[in-house]
Structure formats: C-alpha cells, structure tokens
Chain A
C-alpha cells in the first residue's frame, strides 16, 4: 500500500524557516515525481512545487519562488520542502502527493494526510 506521511509542520514566526518532510513507502520512490500542495484554512487547493523523479527538474508557483526549495533523497524515500522567509499567507495544511510518472505532469495520487504550518507572531 502506498503511504505518504508528512511531518515538520508547526508554529513559526513571520520571516522564519521550516523544513517539511514526506516519508514515502509502498512504491519505488525513485521512479516517481512528487509535489507539494497546500490548503489555507477554509480555502481551496493551491499547488506549491513539484520535482521530477531524479530531482533534476523542479517547478514552483510564483508566490514561493526564491523562498521555498523542493528536494528529495531517493536513498531515504523522502521528499522535502525547505521554506524560508515565511509569511502569514503561507499558513496552510501542506500535502505531499505522488505523480503517476517520472515527470510531474500527471495526476496526484495518492496524497498524504498533511501537516499544518502556522505563520504567526
């Protein structure tokens, strides 16, 4: 069974940093692209970033470019999201999701349970 388990969320002050992790199991992690998607409280889904299976290609939504970095360690079956210069508007539940292929341009299936990031003073 494919499982994605996010961790690393919490309360951080504006301007602070946080690193999210997503531990994957039940599939050959190194063969699939991965993404991060967030959902602010009571709001809709917003894609944040994606990374190819090798890690050689990365993609970001405009609002996080230069602040967030997606990466992966295929030896540890783990996806990461380094978040710097955090803002109040980054407050959301962050989900990791598996793509159906080695590049990200597919559906997201499945999704993890999510980890809550709260940016507040």
Chain B
C-alpha cells in the first residue's frame, strides 16, 4: 500500500467546489504531518499551493488565491485540498506531499477536470 494515495481523477463544474483527498497509509498518523499541495499544468513545473498542519499552522503559497484551502480529515486519515469557485484555469494535476522518515513522499496525483 502506498504511503500516500490520491484518486486518479476528479471532475467538477465551473463555479462549484472540488475536494481532493490525500490518504495516508494505515499506521501513519495524519496528525504528525504537514501536508503540502502542488498544482501542475501541462508542460509546466509544479507550483506550490499550500501547506497544512492545523488550522493554526498553515501556509498559503505566494500569490495563491484564498479559494484554495487545506484541511485534514482524521476519520479517513486524509489531507484535503478544497478549491472553491472552480475556474477553467484550475484544470490541472494536483499532488500532495509529506516528509516521512527524512524522505519526501508524493501522492500519485489527481487529474482535475473542470467541465
């Protein structure tokens, strides 16, 4: 079982909200990790969106709109990225990341389609 699991794809309509999940492997305590989120559009490098540890310990990337927000769901041991007021330009691949045992782990990525 991978350390981080993301749904392969997600579709949502313009103006709606999209909820992207990043589930930590059983036995890995979500509460101990800061979850980082990145957006990648075709033929471009990844862009840092935000990092989330708790509501009092979070960081928004420079220039990243507030409609991108992070949270955690302890019941599912998952980090969450919510994109509200979806726009066509939000169509991209989204990756979550953690530092685990002095190494970086990326989720497999979620392809978000806005249609």
Contacts and interface: CB of A to CB of B under 8 A. Distances in A.
A46 interface: yes
A22 B59 CA distance: 26
Interface of A: 35, 37, 44-47, 50, 59, 61, 95, 104-114
**Would you call the interface of chain B mostly helix, strand, loop, or mixed?**
strand
**Would you call the interface of chain A mostly helix, strand, loop, or mixed?**
strand
B79 interface: no
Interface of B: 36, 38, 40, 45-48, 51, 59, 61-62, 93, 95, 97, 99, 102-109
B45 A109 contact: no
Nearest to B44: A113
A116 B51 CA distance: 28
A44 B107 CA distance: 8
B102 A45 contact: no
B106 A45 contact: yes
Given A107-B51, A109-B61, A44 B108 contact: yes
